[in-house]
Structure 1
Amino acid sequence: MNRRLWFLLLAAALLLHGCSLAPDYNRPLAPIPSEWPQGPAYEGTQTVPGAAGAAELSWQEFFSDEQLRTIIETALANNLDLRLVALKVERVRALYGIQRAELYPALNAAGAGAKQQRSVDLIGPGDARTTEQYSLNLGLASWEIDFFGRTRSLSEQALNEYLATEQGRRSARILLISEVSRAYLTLAKDRENLSLAQSTLEDQQGEYDIIQRRYDVGVATELDLRRAQTRVDAARRDVASFSQQLAQDHNRLNLLCGCQLSAELLPADLSSLTPPRPMSAGLSSATLLNRPDIVAAEYRLKGAYARIGAARAAFFPRISLTTSVGTASDALSGLFTSGTDVWNFAPQLVLPIFDGRIWAAFRLSEAEQQIVLTEYEKTIQVAFREVADALAVQGTIDRQLAAQQSLVDALAETYGLANKRYLGGLDSYLGVLDAQRTLYGARRVLISLNLAKLANRVNLYAVLGGGAG
């Protein structure tokens, strides 16, 4: 009997390699141009001196600033959002394990014992009132033999869902790295703005004191004095505002890192930073297909194909098997004596004749496949737009910086000349006031452009897929 049972189990296992009804998967054509955009905004983006491809660099190689690397390592170890994503990946992995296990029979051992006393009215003469029955069995219950690939298709869908979630963890890691670096750069920019506001306050306070003395001796007008006071008050307001922003920047970094960062790790200003390495997008937009969000979208698309296979298999018969082998006796001591062996073999075939739910489920699987396909194509298009935007910044930011620096230099000369003309009695203080206000605004724009250049390198690194590690 044991030989027959194992033969049946072997034959059933061979049926696991039956046909699959899922449609063949072929990667859809990417709905984007094969090359990056061209034009005046993208000049020089193809040949950036010293630039490397995003896939060639780990984040440790891309970020050259030691303090920033330390902060990123802290965030990767402690950030709760990233930890939550990792736990969700483990949950999906476990769900895949449950679905995968449906392919194989669950072998169970069962022992039972019963002792019963019957009524004398219900037994024949000479029969014992008390009966005993003991059994020990090894078998499987209601195992579906996956002849048409339904269970295997569901397992394939669960696998692709797990792989997509794994890519989601990679996306979350890249997002965290870029968020930490941008917060770090923003803090450096706000410190530079605070320093500018403080130096402006000192200069304006000095000018106000000079005008106050001139006013006291009747050389300056009260209007000049009040105008000077407005610039002092505006500078004081900016100092308080940037102090607030610095505190909030520090709080944001602390939240991203999941701990309180020491002051020694924070940047002094933008000019003191070691900039990230320059990036190259390469010649072909096909590099986007390695972005984790696009890879995850493709895994979900493969899972949608597998779900169609499961929906198709529902139209065909479902074959399940229940079988067991064991021993039974009316005495516990007789369980393993000769002639007490028992076995059970109960295959079952269910053929759907009419079930509207099967057709609805099939149409649902096809509709969801089209939805996921559209989401996959949109993900590629959004990624292309993000890289193109970053390349446009890369191709123009140096020209913007050069023009802004020239503007700042010219405005500084203008401010100096206007101040000399006022002190010489040739012009009113209004010219000095206007020159100082314009120079201060231009310096703040220059600081923002310096931030934009560094932040765009981080952004380009992230939108190209975040590198090798």
Structure 2
Amino acid sequence: MMLKYATLSICLLLLPACSVISATDRPDFSARMPEHFFSADKTVNAGSIYWSEIFSDSVLRRDIEALNTENFELEAARARVEQAAASYGMERADLFPSLNATTDFERKREKEDGGSSETSSAIGFGGALNWELDIWGRLRAKKEAASLSLEEQKALVDQTALNLSTVLVESWIAHHTASKLEMILQRQKTTNTQFLELTELRLEQGQGSALDVLQQRGRLAATKREIPSVQADKINAANAYDVLLGQIPDGQALPLEIWPDINPFSSLPTSKELMESRPDIRAAFLALLVADQDVAAEIANRLPKLSIGLNYSITGNTLSNIGDGKIVSFTTGLLAPIFDAGRRKAEVSRREAMAKEALADLEQSMLVAVKDIENGLSSEQALFKERTLLSEEISIAQQTVSKAKLRYVNGQENYLSVLSALENLQNLHRHEINLQRDLLINRARILKAFGATWHLKEGNVNEIPET
């Protein structure tokens, strides 16, 4: 008993000298972001941007909300959040004493030298309380790491939702692109059929040639040939759309809506806001903080551990005389690592290397975020210029077809000029659809790069709720 009190006294004397091991204090990483985006228009104001400002289609917005609740990848990501929450609960529980109850029953029979035997019974109930005093902050560091890991998983859920929303929008754009191309091709097939009838009529009147008819038949066949692949693209996009919504794909077409009109941004978030707006950067920053807490926990793990225990038990021969025997004991223990062949030290080095890796991942994520935005903004500027020039080119091509057709009918031009002008105009119309697609997809990727949310905040439509 004196030894136990001596051990406790030594431990209590050590407590004032204990220093909690703290994690590394990280600087404000947002200060490393550039002051502005070089590809942005200098007249653009600082502000927030939202998906719903561009993609305001009611069906698409309804399906975005369905995606948030029905997609299986999101469901798996939320299950990882639940796992992290459970891990946090376990680490938090280690900070508190644990209390266990025991019960036992013993019945024995002893044979004496004279041949007689005696039977006895023993019944006991007891309780044991154990508590590790977190003198160096090891348990608190592990609890904080678990808490940060929980927040990291929540950020990863947001990133998964953002990724899937972008893919859903791109599938929606791909489906509408294929639908519009199909309509264009059907109209062009009608136009080419009319031109074929014209060339056949001229041949019958002796004003044309069989070569003109063959050339136009070839143009019509080429137009028809492109329709099946466009129809397959439309079905594939609809199937991808269904799978994202957790539905069995049936190849049914989506309702065809008017495409959004893309205009230059009037406002953009600042580069420093990316630390909060982009979930992947938040997750990378939280992963770094988790690694720092793990380092602190492993450093504390190399130091002595102090624990206390309290045991109480009562015994008796029968239930009626339980309590005849009582045992109360108090224990303290100081576990100091002496020799482990460098395992704990190596574990600290490993955790420090993991923290360096997390820091590098964070800084890389920040660079990639800026690159994604710069690329998106510069591509959008080029696409806007191309759209303006393409509009002018289509206008010229339409006039060229009209004049070439008129000259051909009047016998002033051969059919080759008509065919060339018609083919050029039809190709430009298809390119116009693909250019609109590229503008929409690029705008979607810019919104993703900024980590934009779907709905307006206070006073407007609420954001999609977390589940």
Normalised by the shorter chain, which TM-score bucket?
0.7 to 0.9
**Cα gap change, 1:201/1:32 in structure 2, threshold over 3 Å: closer, same or farther?**
farther
For residue 167 of structure 1, the aligned residue among 135, 155, 163 is 155
Name structure 2 gaps, 5 residues minimum.
1-7, 458-462
Match of 1:5 in 2: none
Match of 1:3 in 2: none
Match of 1:347 in 2: 332
Deviates more, 1:178-187 or 1:79-88: 178-187
Partners of 1:96 and 1:162 within 8 A in 2: yes
Q: Does 1:441 align with 2:427?
A: yes
Partners of 1:23 and 1:308 within 8 A in 2: yes
> Cα distance, 1:88 vs. partner?
1.6
Give the percent of matched residue pairs that are identical in Structure 1 and Structure 2.
Answer: 24
Q: Does 1:325 align with 2:289?
A: no
Match of 1:461 in 2: 447
**1:128-158 Cα shifts (integer Å, max 9, x gaps):** 72222211112234x4322112222222222
> Cα distance, 1:52 vs. partner?
5.2
For residue 303 of structure 2, the aligned residue among 303, 313, 316 is 316
For residue 102 of structure 1, the aligned residue among 94, 103, 106 is 94
Match of 1:368 in 2: 354
Match of 2:36 in 1: 36
**Cα gap change, 1:127/1:277 in structure 2, threshold over 3 Å: closer, same or farther?**
farther
**Cα gap change, 1:353/1:262 in structure 2, threshold over 3 Å: closer, same or farther?**
closer
Match of 2:3 in 1: none
**Using CA pairs below 8 Å that are at least 6 residues apart, which structure has the higher relative contact order?**
1
Match of 2:166 in 1: 178
**1:219-240 Cα shifts (integer Å, max 9, x gaps):** 3223222211111111101222
Partners of 1:276 and 1:458 within 8 A in 2: no
One-letter amino acid of the counterpart of residue 309, structure 1: A
Q: Does 1:115 align with 2:101?
A: no
**Cα gap change, 1:346/1:160 in structure 2, threshold over 3 Å: closer, same or farther?**
same
Match of 2:60 in 1: 68
Q: Does 1:23 align with 2:3?
A: no
In structure 1, distance between residues paired with 2:423 and 2:406 = 16
> Cα distance, 1:304 vs. partner?
0.7
**Cα gap change, 1:244/1:62 in structure 2, threshold over 3 Å: closer, same or farther?**
closer
> Cα distance, 1:126 vs. partner?
13
Match of 2:460 in 1: none
Partners of 1:64 and 1:276 within 8 A in 2: no
**Cα gap change, 1:387/1:281 in structure 2, threshold over 3 Å: closer, same or farther?**
farther
One-letter amino acid of the counterpart of residue 23, structure 1: A
Q: Does 1:140 align with 2:129?
A: yes
One-letter amino acid of the counterpart of residue 79, structure 1: N
One-letter amino acid of the counterpart of residue 323, structure 1: L
For residue 197 of structure 2, the aligned residue among 176, 185, 209 is 209
One-letter amino acid of the counterpart of residue 40, structure 2: Y
Partners of 1:279 and 1:460 within 8 A in 2: no
Match of 1:4 in 2: none
> Cα distance, 1:348 vs. partner?
2.3
With the length of structure 2 as denominator, give the TM-score of the two structures. 0.86
In structure 2, distance between residues paired with 1:276 and 1:438 = 26
**Cα gap change, 1:127/1:134 in structure 2, threshold over 3 Å: closer, same or farther?**
farther
In structure 2, distance between residues paired with 1:293 and 1:127 = 80
In structure 2, distance between residues paired with 1:194 and 1:460 = 28
> Cα distance, 1:60 vs. partner?
5.5
> Cα distance, 1:37 vs. partner?
3.1
Partners of 1:64 and 1:277 within 8 A in 2: no
In structure 1, distance between residues paired with 2:264 and 2:81 = 33
> Cα distance, 1:439 vs. partner?
1.4
With the length of structure 1 as denominator, give the TM-score of the two structures. 0.86
Match of 2:48 in 1: 53
Match of 2:5 in 1: none
Match of 1:192 in 2: 180
Match of 2:215 in 1: 227
Q: Secondary structure at the match of 1:53?
A: coil
In structure 1, distance between residues paired with 2:25 and 2:144 = 12
Partners of 2:274 and 2:451 within 8 A in 1: yes
Q: Secondary structure at the match of 2:29?
A: coil
**1:194-237 Cα shifts (integer Å, max 9, x gaps):** 11111001111111122123334443223222211111111101
> Cα distance, 1:353 vs. partner?
1.9
For residue 238 of structure 2, the aligned residue among 227, 243, 250 is 250
Match of 1:152 in 2: 140
Match of 2:387 in 1: 401
In structure 1, distance between residues paired with 2:239 and 2:417 = 41
> Cα distance, 1:103 vs. partner?
1.7
**1:176-206 Cα shifts (integer Å, max 9, x gaps):** 2222222212212221111111100111111
In structure 2, distance between residues paired with 1:389 and 1:296 = 23
Q: Does 1:414 align with 2:406?
A: no
In structure 1, distance between residues paired with 2:204 and 2:211 = 13
> Cα distance, 1:453 vs. partner?
2.8
Q: Secondary structure at the match of 2:307?
A: strand
Match of 2:4 in 1: none
Partners of 2:235 and 2:252 within 8 A in 1: no
One-letter amino acid of the counterpart of residue 345, structure 1: F
Name structure 1 gaps, 5 residues minimum.
1-7
In structure 2, distance between residues paired with 1:31 and 1:237 = 56
Deviates more, 1:377-386 or 1:422-431: 422-431
In structure 2, distance between residues paired with 1:177 and 1:345 = 60
